[in-house]
């Protein structure tokens, strides 16, 4: 293709294999999206309306659920409209904006999970210092940096990626910075190097801190009573489930993104959708059950007290 051609629109070719049953996929994805919205909004409403839940742990949970809503808002509306359209296209700028939203939310998930791990670590390992170390001002600062740092990293990545394109076919159902960068006319070594570095900086410190927190929590639990270990497990298990699940899905996303074309296309499609289905749906279910269990326990306690 002539390098002087000014390409302003991209074609999402990942829908080709879905064309035959696109209306079926539309109904399935719409149902999933509505389910995700309902589950997250219900849990957020419970946290918002219950003053007893206006404490750091539940504020972090609410932030995690809001992050999931932002991520799905950047993914599902475009996906659903593509299932009903003859051509799956979007402008170069819109594609990069979608990538910015998706990956900012994904990176923020790790930082939010690390903030939640800090909350659990202090509450279990340093309970007497909890009120001092996890103040509302501290929570606000942590939440600010949880979204600010990933946003800055992705903004820089978008600036490096935004250049003249020589190809317009994107073999995916959504946009990623690396996939768009490979369509550009010039050398992408700097863009690729920055992307890998930013990924490492955004993911490795939170993951290392989460692992460190659980090592310390485990050490404290082993030195305490069986009842203490049970309560610690009930507190940490939901967070641990979310962390492990999201880490696995994020790992597959990185592999699919970086080795695009090396894995079967249908597998790439499944993993791409799975990343936008399981974490946003699992988070409210896990924490919703925790909230419901806590409310039932409180009611029983009040009944016995009466």
Q: Which of 13-17, 166-170, 223-227, 283-287 has the lowest mean pLDDT?
A: 13-17
CATH architecture of the domain with residue range 9-305: Up-down Bundle (1.20)
pLDDT score of 152: 93
Is residue 146 pLDDT above 60, yes or no?
Answer: yes
The greatest distance separating any two alpha carbons of the chain, rounded to the nearest whole angstrom, comes to: 81
- The chain-wide mean pLDDT, for the chain, equals 83
pLDDT single digits (tens) 73-131: 999 999 899 888 888 888 888 999 999 999 999 999 999 999 999 999 999 999 889 98
pLDDT score of 294: 59
Is residue 306 pLDDT above 60, yes or no?
Answer: no
Cβ neighbours for 21, distance < 8 A, ≥ 6 positions apart: none
Q: Nearest CA to 204 among 256, 133, 241, 153?
A: 153
Cβ neighbours for 288, distance < 8 A, ≥ 6 positions apart: 39, 42, 43, 46
pLDDT score of 202: 87
Backbone angles phi, psi at 74, to 5 degrees: -85, -10
pLDDT single digits (tens) 283-300: 888 887 777 665 655 554
pLDDT score of 268: 65
Domain boundaries defined on the chain: 9-305
Q: Strand order of the sheet with strand 89-91?
A: 89-91, 9-12, 169-170
pLDDT score of 208: 93
pLDDT score of 211: 93
Q: 186-218: buried (b, 16+ CB within 10 Å) or exposed (e) per residue?
A: eebeebbebbeebbeebbeebbebbeebbeebe
With cut-offs at 50, 70 and 90, classify the pLDDT of residue 144. Answer: very high
Distance CA 78, CA 30 (A): 11
């Amino acid at each position: 293709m002539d390098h002087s051609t000014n390409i302003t629109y991209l074609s999402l070719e990942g829908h080709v294999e879905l064309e035959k049953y696109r209306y079926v996929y539309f109904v399935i994805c719409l149902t999933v999206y509505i389910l995700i919205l309902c589950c997250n909004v219900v849990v957020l409403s419970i946290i918002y309306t219950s003053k007893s839940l206006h404490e750091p742990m539940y504020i972090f949970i609410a932030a995690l659920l809001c992050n999931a809503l932002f991520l799905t808002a950047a993914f599902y509306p475009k996906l659903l409209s593509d299932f009903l359209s003859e051509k799956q296209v979007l402008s170069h700028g819109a594609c990069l904006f979608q990538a910015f939203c998706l990956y900012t939310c994904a990176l923020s998930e790790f930082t939010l999970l690390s903030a939640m791990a800090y909350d659990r670590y202090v509450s279990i390992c340093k309970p007497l210092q909890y009120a001092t170390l996890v103040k509302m001002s501290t929570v606000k600062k942590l939440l600010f940096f949880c979204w600010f740092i990933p946003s800055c990293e992705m903004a820089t990545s978008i600036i490096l990626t935004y250049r003249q394109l020589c190809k317009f076919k994107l073999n995916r159902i959504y946009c990623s910075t690396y996939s768009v960068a490979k369509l550009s006319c010039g050398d992408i070594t700097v863009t690729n190097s920055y992307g890998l570095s930013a990924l490492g900086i955004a993911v490795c410190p939170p993951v290392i801190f989460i692992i460190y927190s659980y090592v310390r929590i485990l050490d404290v639990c082993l030195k305490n009573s069986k009842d203490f270990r049970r309560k610690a497990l009930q507190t940490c298990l939901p967070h641990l489930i979310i962390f492990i699940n999201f880490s696995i899905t994020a790992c597959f996303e990185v592999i699919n993104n970086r080795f695009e074309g090396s894995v079967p296309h249908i597998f790439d499609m499944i993993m791409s959708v799975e990343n936008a289905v399981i974490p946003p749906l699992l988070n409210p279910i896990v924490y919703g059950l925790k909230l419901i269990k806590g409310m039932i326990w409180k009611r029983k306690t009040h009944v016995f007290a009466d």
